[in-house]
Structure 1
Amino acid sequence: MVEQSRKFTAKKLATGLLAAVMVAGLAGCSGNNKENNSAASDTGSFNKEGLPIVSEPVTLKVLTVRWGSMGDTFTQNQWLKDLETNTNVKIDWQVMSSNDWAEQKSIMLASGTLPDVVLGDQTFSDSDIVNNLSYFRPLDDYIDQYMPNLKAAMEETPDMKKISTFPDGKIYSMPARLPSRPMSSRQPVINKTWLDKLGLKVPDTIDDLYNVMKAFKEQDPNGNGKQDEIPYIEVSNDLISPFGIADLNNNNMLVKDGKAVYYPTSEEYKEGLKWENKLYNEGLLDKELFTQDDTMRSAKFQNPDAPVVGFSYQWTPDAVFGKWGDQYETIPPIAGPDGKRYTIGNPIGMNLARNELLITSSCKTPEIAARWADQFYTNEASIQNFWGAIGTVIQKNDDGTYTLMDPPAGTSADAWYWDQSLRDFGPKYVSPAFEKNIVLSAESGDGLKLQLDKLGSEYVTEPFPNVMYTAEEFQELPTLTTDIDTYVNTMRAQFISKGGIDEGWEAYVKKLNDMGLEKLLKIRTEAYSRYVSVK
């Protein structure tokens, strides 16, 4: 938080003291908790296998962060309540809001006062963990000795181990594999009503798309007598994905023929810029492309009088168009100049994450915490911690399938899932073979995403993975990426709006090299090499 004037100093001090008190309350293994944990180890009440985990009740303090004002209703998930009964491990949930977590996190990391367990990848980032490794326990031995479910998951899906392995070769955080996630991310969405009115076919190639955009611009498909149609309104890699630029993690990197590639200096990217410049010159891209914010863009998507946007990339057609949603349809990926189609996404699914559970050095009984966490890595546990409990949100059928129930009236399915479960956060693993047993509605939400995924999943390219960096690399990356990314984005806007791409290309690449591109690539390629070498 930036201090605006001296009059805020007292308020900030009071806030800091309050946060410090709250952090003190999160201290792991303190007071009765410490006595209980110590007793578990000293008396031999810990069971290495089976349930309960401990013969005498033990309490773990578990910290997690929820978005905004979501609160802690998820703790009433029946599976979580049954877990306490079955394991004898009681959970003292410390649920914080993302609204004020940044300040509290800083105080916590500065003090080194942490709870027993930290849950959810929104709580601590890679750099938070790497720069404070002494606060977190290496988990390799605990996984090997006490976590058969996670161990089996990592053997079945090796990428779970790859994303969880830190630069020193150890695992400090547990991963998750979310169920029933698509392989592709945003896919092309077009106003089908406009196509039909103008007698046009769904575009198949970039030449087709250009012709459709031109017709949208010039032939008044919304029928209001104005030339207010905007064929495309965003600057994004989606529009140049037909050129092979399929950047899932927005870090300007691709994997090509098994090698890490920086694409903003590639020929494919250059040709993509020329394509965008052509569209811009002919008024097929929004004239406010580089000046509008999300609010302005949303207002155009949902223009109250008539639909004005012709083409976009979205998760689902109804995602942004408001009352005009029924006019839009998801279509297959557009073929590029090489005749191939490319979809941004991940061939193994958009479903892997790390840092979903950490056991801190403050915890005196990490073996209990490890066995407790391992209970989350079964198929049934995972679906209940992603959607909600069986009997509440999920119906278990006699044929071995699982059906999601309809949400209460007035509540969206997605909001209901967040209310009833850990949803995206926390440890979980659903085996690919088990997913066929999950019955989702193809009309909305997660089921609709899977349905639409069939259009583009076969064209999904291998993304540059979510690699891990060392503490030293984290020191260098921010300066390099801030300067270089800013220059790339500035020049992209200039090339699109003013052209001169061929004439200015050599100077553009030279400038990037002068700014330290070689050092940035060395960091990224070394991190990639470490990632692929994990066995």
Structure 2
Amino acid sequence: MYKQAGKRSAKRWISLVLATALAFGLAGCSGGNSSSSEPSKTSDFNKEGMPIVNKPVTLKVLTMRWGNMGDSFKQNQWLKDLEKNTNVKIDWQVVSSNDWGEQKSIMLASGTLPDIILGDQTFSDSDIVNNLSYFRPLDDYIDQYMPNLKAAMAETPELKKISTFPDGKIYSLPTRLPSRPKTKNQPVINKAWLDKLGLKVPENVDDLYNVLKAFKEKDPNGNGKKDEIPYTETGLSPDFLNPFGITDINANSMLVKDGKPEYYPISEEYKEGLKYANKLYAEGLIDKELFTQDGTMTSAKQQNADAPIVGFTNQWTPDAVFGKWSSQYATIPPIAGPDGKRYNPGDPNGMSFNRNELLITTSCKYPEVAARWADQFYTNEASIQNFWGAIGTVIKKNDNGTYTLMDPPSGTSADAWYWDQSLRDFGPKYVSPSFEKSIVLNPKAGDGLKLEIDKMGSEYVTTPFPNVMYTAEEFQELPTLTTDIDSYISSMRAKWVTKGGIDKDWDAYVKKLNDMGLDKLMKIRTDAYNRYMSVK
């Protein structure tokens, strides 16, 4: 009892220290939080041209990095040049994802924020919607001080759609990342096993069944053991149901069919997909531990030390998860379903759009300076340098107007190098679709490899349920509905895959979902969808 009380006291003490540190360390350039949205302009501000201010101004910018990544990105030469050219000095506040949850709670409770929040992993839609008084509406700033972003929104209307909050205003800035694929995950199979058994790449669900059966029975890894697992994942991934028209890139059980939102766990396609999964499970073609293992257990099987034991899965790239066995795996075209059609999860506009990449807080004394500073990120060259690394360090600018990514240092993966040298996924960016033709990527590794294998599935990509925005009231109601509904759906899915009985249970299952408030959930989702689609 004494130990528990001591831990609670220590935790309260740590929280108090953190709150004090945040109050002093993260106060904006105005010297603290102000709920006023009125800017305090500097007479040294230049609306156009460089520098942005004649006398240096310091802005505090908070961003998050994964784990122990640190702040090496600050050495990016483009960022250094930006500071010199604009006269805007940046006091970077770099926080680790390991600590950010508690720090964020304290920051929002205290109302003490820096001038700028950068990166979509810092504050979520819910964080922003429920604390709007801390963040400046940016519509007027975009109109007056951000010609690069304004032009980008005119060229690519999706940027405005994803950035518009339910009240019709823009509080956070968007991104369009360069050279992103249309497909998300794609089917990946052990090609070495196919070749050894003399099998062709499966075209449809019947072919896949036959291939997985051969994987189980014919010892394709050649070790004389019955250790092959034809299919494994952590739970039944929605990707497994892709051949049945189920594509879900947001993991929210929603898709768009004939231009309308649909909740697929009550659809006939979902029902047929689970019947197929049950058939495979009953014959040992799906991992018996599918619904009981965690990600660590799944990874251990994918990277089994003695021999490859996994036959089929869905992944971003074939080298993403299989460790030293990666060379045996290959991406294949989407598996055709019972209707003869192929479906691939992704986005026809490209997996490149996001919001909440930059917010200007009401603590900021010079929001017009912050807006002009942010606008410098919305050029083609700025964006590629903040996604991969600086020209001359990571990117080579060629005489013919193209841009080539250099090879990473020996012993470093390309992705790790890009994170070390740039803001990478975080922060505002815009690369014009026409400019992407000038970017030369290595087709055998990293982002270039994904674009190559993307060609197999891009024509089959379905229109996803969009990344919609919810109101504060909707955010309050959603967890009450989704917690119980999602839990029930998950338990019934596990039951039907492992034990069968879906036909017998189906009507009662649908009725129970309706009793649990599925109609309310669909109204919230549909209202948000209609708001999103109405933005021009």
Q: Could you tell me the TM-score, scaled by structure 2's length?
A: 0.97
Matched-pair contact (CA < 8 Å) for 2:484–2:516: yes
Aligned residue type for 2:267: S
CA distance in 1, matches of 2:487, 2:502: 18
Aligned to 1:223: 222
**Root mean square deviation of aligned Cα:** 1.6
Matched-pair contact (CA < 8 Å) for 2:41–2:368: no
Aligned residue type for 1:529: N
2:431 corresponds to 1:468: no
CA distance in 2, matches of 1:246, 1:205: 16
How far the C-alpha of 1:298 sits from its partner, in A, is 1.0
Greater Cα offset, 9-18 or 480-489: 9-18
Matches within 5 A, 1:330-341: 330-341=331-342
Aligned to 2:514: 513
How far the C-alpha of 1:17 sits from its partner, in A, is 2.0
Aligned to 2:359: 358
Aligned residue type for 1:481: T
Aligned residue type for 2:508: A
2:97 corresponds to 1:71: no
Matches within 5 A, 1:264-283: 264-283=265-284
Matched-pair contact (CA < 8 Å) for 2:33–2:113: no
CA distance in 1, matches of 2:273, 2:218: 26
Matched-pair contact (CA < 8 Å) for 1:279–1:285: yes
Aligned residue type for 1:131: N
CA distance in 2, matches of 1:152, 1:169: 20
Aligned to 2:27: 27
How far the C-alpha of 1:157 sits from its partner, in A, is 1.1
CA distance in 1, matches of 2:534, 2:416: 40
CA distance in 2, matches of 1:47, 1:303: 60
CA distance in 2, matches of 1:60, 1:113: 14
Matched-pair contact (CA < 8 Å) for 2:228–2:310: yes
Q: What per-residue deviation string (whole Å, max 9, x for no partner) do you get for residues 228-285 of structure 1?
A: 1111012111111000000010000000111000000000000001000110111110
Matched-pair contact (CA < 8 Å) for 1:33–1:60: no
Aligned to 1:349: 350
How far the C-alpha of 1:359 sits from its partner, in A, is 0.4
CA distance in 2, matches of 1:296, 1:40: 55
Aligned residue type for 1:134: S
How many residues align? The count is 529
CA distance in 2, matches of 1:96, 1:324: 35
Aligned to 1:161: 160
The 3-state SS of whatever aligns with 2:256 is strand
Aligned to 2:197: 198
How far the C-alpha of 1:114 sits from its partner, in A, is 0.7
Aligned to 1:119: 118
Matches within 5 A, 1:96-245: 96-234=95-233, 235-245=236-246
Q: What per-residue deviation string (whole Å, max 9, x for no partner) do you get for residues 281-339 of structure 1?
A: 11110111111111111111111222111111111112111221111111100000111
How far the C-alpha of 1:531 sits from its partner, in A, is 0.3
Aligned residue type for 1:229: E
Q: What per-residue deviation string (whole Å, max 9, x for no partner) do you get for residues 346-381 of structure 1?
A: 111111110000000111211111000000000000
Matched-pair contact (CA < 8 Å) for 1:139–1:170: yes
Matched-pair contact (CA < 8 Å) for 1:385–1:421: yes
Q: What per-residue deviation string (whole Å, max 9, x for no partner) do you get for residues 107-153 of structure 1?
A: 11011111111100111010000000010000001001110100111
Unpaired segments of 5 or more residues in structure 1? none
Aligned to 1:55: 54
CA distance in 2, matches of 1:469, 1:213: 42
Unpaired segments of 5 or more residues in structure 2? none
The share of aligned pairs that are identical, in percent, is 77
Aligned to 2:304: 303
The 3-state SS of whatever aligns with 2:290 is coil
CA distance in 1, matches of 2:532, 2:32: 42
2:454 corresponds to 1:453: yes
Q: What per-residue deviation string (whole Å, max 9, x for no partner) do you get for residues 165-220 of structure 1?
A: 00000000000011011110111111111111111111001000011111111111
Aligned residue type for 2:13: A
CA distance in 1, matches of 2:291, 2:266: 21
Q: What per-residue deviation string (whole Å, max 9, x for no partner) do you get for residues 13-56 of structure 1?
A: 2211221122111011245999xxx99835x2111111111111
Cα 1:39–1:489 change in 2 (3 A) is closer
Matched-pair contact (CA < 8 Å) for 1:33–1:58: no
